[in-house]
Structure 1
Amino acid sequence: MTPPPDRDPLALDLEPRPEPEAREAAPTPARPPARRGPALSWPRRLVVAGLLAAVAAVTALSLRPRREPPLPVQLATAQKSAITRKVTAAGKLQAATTVKVSSNISGDLLELPVREGDRVRKGQLLARIEARRYAAQVKQQEALRAGASADLAAERVLIARLEQDLGRVKRLTAGGNASQAEVDRALADLRAEQAKADAAAERIAQADAALADARHLLSFSTVASPIDGIVVTRAKQVGERVRGSDLNEDPIVTIATLSAMEAKVEVGEHEVVYLHEGDPAEVEIDAFPDRKFPAQVIEVAKNALVKNPGTEAEVTTFPVRLALTAAAAGSLPGMSCQATISTETHRDAVVVPIQAVTVRTEKELAGAAQGAPGAAPPAGAPAPAAFARPRREPLRKVVFVVEGGVAKARPVETGLADESAIEIVSGLKEGEQVVEGPYKALSRELKSGKPVKQEQPDGGGR
């Protein structure tokens, strides 16, 4: 249809248009009714409620912190008994008396009638050395002594004659037949001869001394045993040359008194301070493993033996001699042995097994006292320097006392100790139970306040 001429065709048609006729409303289809399940019976509702309650209880229990299980340990009771400090050391057997027999003169060994293991008596012939030179010296000194004796005899004869002459001159002088000068001359001659006689007597004494020395040297050609004992070493053979010298030792044989044996052991510097002469001991010889021989300390050396000086393996020990008070039949010098020396005994001491005493740091003990193993340092404590060298924390000896199924660390002071027990000087009373094992629990796992239970002998918990 053509718009009227007086109307702009681009103008908006703002006039209201007539609304179209309302469409005839279509009928809405009807929804089917919702299906409803069968209603739960009261027994089923109770079962569901019980399941929900069980799930809630299990969830609540899983969220609660679990109680720490008790640690299986071995317990011991502190008792009163006598305890003895014992020091153990290892060493070697040696004869109580050992003599190295050497020669005082040099020469070829002509005779050696003894062998190793032979029993000898004091004064018995051990060796004979070639001594022709010393025999010749004896003869020479004997000749010199004989010559001096002859000179003395001649002087005595001459003195007797001069004494007679002097008496005759004196009588002539008294009768006026001789002068005083003749008397004086006769007296001088007599005195001169008497001096010569005195010199001859001194030469005899000198010859006697030289002869005695020569005979003494000649006696060295036979070597005799200085003691009763057994030949343990034969260092020379017939035909060898021995060197007699006061500076160099050249033993021919070694004799030892095996009837009396000693043990020479080395004791550490931390234990030697407890030893005294006369302390009783027991010696175990490796060759006789089932026997113990009583002994006694007879010497504690004052000179130290330092091994590996200046290194990390440096060890300082002191030699200690023990005399076996009972015969050790069959023992020989050089056999290995171990000595157990009893140094001190305390009566009625509170003792526990030695493995029950362990160590803890001061920090661990302080944390246990505050209820927190890693307790923070107190307020106001100086903070450690960033680059400070860590200090070694001091250690305290403790035992874990069991009270009401809980182990509590208790610092103690210890005293004497033997192979299996240790004395508690303070910190523990008789009758209290302490943890004595196992080692892993005592050294690492066990802390103050930890629940424990006694372990069965077969290893199972009770």
Structure 2
Amino acid sequence: MTEAVPAKPVSMSWGQRLLALAFCAAVLALLAFSLRPRPVPPIGVQTAAARQGAITRKVTAAGKLQAATEVKLSSNLSGDLLDLTVHEGDRVKKGQYLGRIDSRRYAAQVRQQEAARASAAADLGLEEVQVRKLEAELARVRRLAGSGNASQAELERAESDVAAERARAQAARQRIAQAEAALAEARHFLDLTTLYAPIDGIVTSRQKQVGERVRGSDFSEDVIVIVATLSSMEAKVEVGEHEVVYLHEGDQAEVEIDAFPDRRWPAQVVEIAKNATIKNAGTEAEVTTFPVRLALTAPVAGALPGMSCQAGISTETHEKAVVVPIQAVTVRTEKQLRGPAERRDERPVAPAPGARARREPTQKVVFVVERGVARARRVETGLASESEIEILDGVKPGETVVEGPYKVLARELEDGKPVKDAVPGEGGKKS
């Protein structure tokens, strides 16, 4: 039986040992490198420089065009419409004949009052003749009384007869005046059966047709045609209750009409309503607005009442203000502004049973870029225009601020995160 020969231990040279140690060190180094925390990749943002300059507060509102002067022509009389010579779009001059209402009834009333006046005049003639007769009789009785041939009683009776007849003559004169007043009224009603243009303008609406019945009333108008002066137009817009407090009569404005895109017309605030218009009252969708009238100071060829428009009203200007793009201002809660370390140390507080969860207060912030890092700055804002906003405190002129994209500003960006200017096409397009 053959005995096993023990294996000799393998001996490594110093070179092999150094090579093995180097290999182990490389593996450990590679493992340590792979396990070390990686730096946060910078977020692509759009930036802008805060500038110092003028900014004007602008209040925007939407509404409709309307004629500066619009007259609704109706009738004070009831009757059938026998003639109407104008149509929508016709240009008319003040005093121009437009149409007429059946006048037979009112012409008859004129003839009736003319007859009444003639009858009263005839009665006055008779009374005047009688007065002259009694005055002559009085003169005769006075002569007889002077010669003693008539008694005092006869004289007094003659005087009283003259006085009574004079009174009856005066009553006849009053009846004539009454008849003349009634005749004037009847003639006025007859004149009202003919319709004339009240102003120079354009017929914007014809609401009656020949043969229809016109209702005359002092309490509710029955409109026949509407005449408007389209050479001067107004915009009637609705301004929210939080913005109307900044408006004043005489403020300058610009009006853009939907029918004429990319053009704006100068205007001026001429009236701010004191009564609110409330829509959806008593619901969550309740909206309170105030009507505001703007007079367009330049003619708008082709504009018609009822066209939709938008107005930008300039209310106040600050000349030397620190201004940033309006989208650069965002909001964060106090918890978000305290940073990750402080948030980890916070202990959540459970609300009391039945109590409503309290909403965290928010702060206006602007993210300022400092050496490639976004820093959240609490800011106070002032006036706002259509595209820019005034910073009263928190940002200095020349500092670089983040203005987009909206998603990054609203949700992702935090204090201390690295940022870089985004390249268009890689998430850097403006929202």
TM tier relative to shorter chain: over 0.9
SS in 1 for 2:306: coil
**Match among 227, 245, 262 for residue 255 of structure 1:** 227
Is 1:409 the counterpart of 2:382? The answer is: no
Is 1:426 the counterpart of 2:386? The answer is: no
**Match among 195, 212, 217 for residue 240 of structure 1:** 212
Q: Output the TM-score relative to the length of structure 2.
A: 0.94
- Summarize the alignment of residues 234-313 of structure 1 with structure 2, pairs less than 5 Å apart: 234-313=206-285
Q: What residue identity is the alignment partner of 2:147?
A: G
SS in 1 for 2:117: helix
CA distance in 1, matches of 2:44, 2:345: 27
CA distance in 1, matches of 2:321, 2:345: 36
Is 1:440 the counterpart of 2:407? The answer is: yes
Q: 1:184 maps to which residue? A: 156
Q: 1:152 maps to which residue? A: 124
Deviation, structure 1 residue 29? 5.6
Is 1:102 the counterpart of 2:69? The answer is: no
Q: What residue identity is the alignment partner of 2:397?
A: E
CA distance in 2, matches of 1:202, 1:386: 91
Conserved? CA contact 1:231–1:255, under 8 Å: yes
Q: Deviations over 1:62-87 (max 9, x none)?
A: 33222222222222221101111111
Q: What residue identity is the alignment partner of 1:425?
A: L
SS in 2 for 1:166: helix
Deviation, structure 1 residue 38? 7.4
Q: 2:314 maps to which residue? A: 342
**Match among 59, 72, 87 for residue 44 of structure 2:** 72
SS in 2 for 1:182: helix
Conserved? CA contact 2:405–2:427, under 8 Å: no
Conserved? CA contact 1:103–1:220, under 8 Å: yes
Deviation, structure 1 residue 355? 1.0
Q: 2:177 maps to which residue? A: 205
CA distance in 2, matches of 1:371, 1:83: 39
Distance 1:261 1:30, change over 3 A: same
**Match among 28, 31, 34 for residue 4 of structure 2:** 31
Q: 2:342 maps to which residue? A: 372
SS in 2 for 1:372: helix
CA distance in 2, matches of 1:147, 1:458: 99
CA RMSD of aligned residues (A): 2.0
CA distance in 1, matches of 2:196, 2:81: 14
SS in 2 for 1:208: helix
Deviation, structure 1 residue 371? 4.4
Aligned length: 428
Conserved? CA contact 1:414–1:423, under 8 Å: yes
Q: What residue identity is the alignment partner of 1:160?
A: R
SS in 2 for 1:246: coil
Q: Deviations over 1:103-160 (max 9, x none)?
A: 1111111111111111111111111111111111111111111111111122112212
Q: Output the TM-score relative to the length of structure 1.
A: 0.88
Conserved? CA contact 1:364–1:374, under 8 Å: no
Distance 1:387 1:210, change over 3 A: closer
Q: 2:195 maps to which residue? A: 223
SS in 1 for 2:298: coil
CA distance in 2, matches of 1:390, 1:275: 38
Conserved? CA contact 2:351–2:357, under 8 Å: no
**Structure 1 residue ranges, 4+ long, deviating more than 4 angstroms after superposition:** 35-41, 381-384
CA distance in 1, matches of 2:351, 2:158: 116
Distance 1:382 1:283, change over 3 A: closer
Conserved? CA contact 1:279–1:342, under 8 Å: yes
CA distance in 2, matches of 1:246, 1:310: 36
Q: Deviations over 1:246-290 (max 9, x none)?
A: 233211111111111111111112211111111111111111102
Conserved? CA contact 2:63–2:308, under 8 Å: yes
Deviation, structure 1 residue 47? 3.7
CA distance in 1, matches of 2:190, 2:349: 88
Deviation, structure 1 residue 396? 0.6
Distance 1:451 1:97, change over 3 A: same
Q: What residue identity is the alignment partner of 1:197?
A: A
User: Which structure has the greater CA radius of gyration?
Assistant: 1
Distance 1:447 1:122, change over 3 A: same
CA distance in 2, matches of 1:51, 1:34: 27
Q: 1:3 maps to which residue? A: none
Q: What residue identity is the alignment partner of 1:438?
A: P
Deviation, structure 1 residue 372? 2.9
CA distance in 2, matches of 1:309, 1:288: 34
CA distance in 2, matches of 1:67, 1:435: 21
Deviation, structure 1 residue 451? 1.9
Consecutive unaligned residues in structure 1, runs of 5 or more = 1-27
Deviation, structure 1 residue 240? 1.6
Distance 1:81 1:459, change over 3 A: farther
Consecutive unaligned residues in structure 2, runs of 5 or more = none
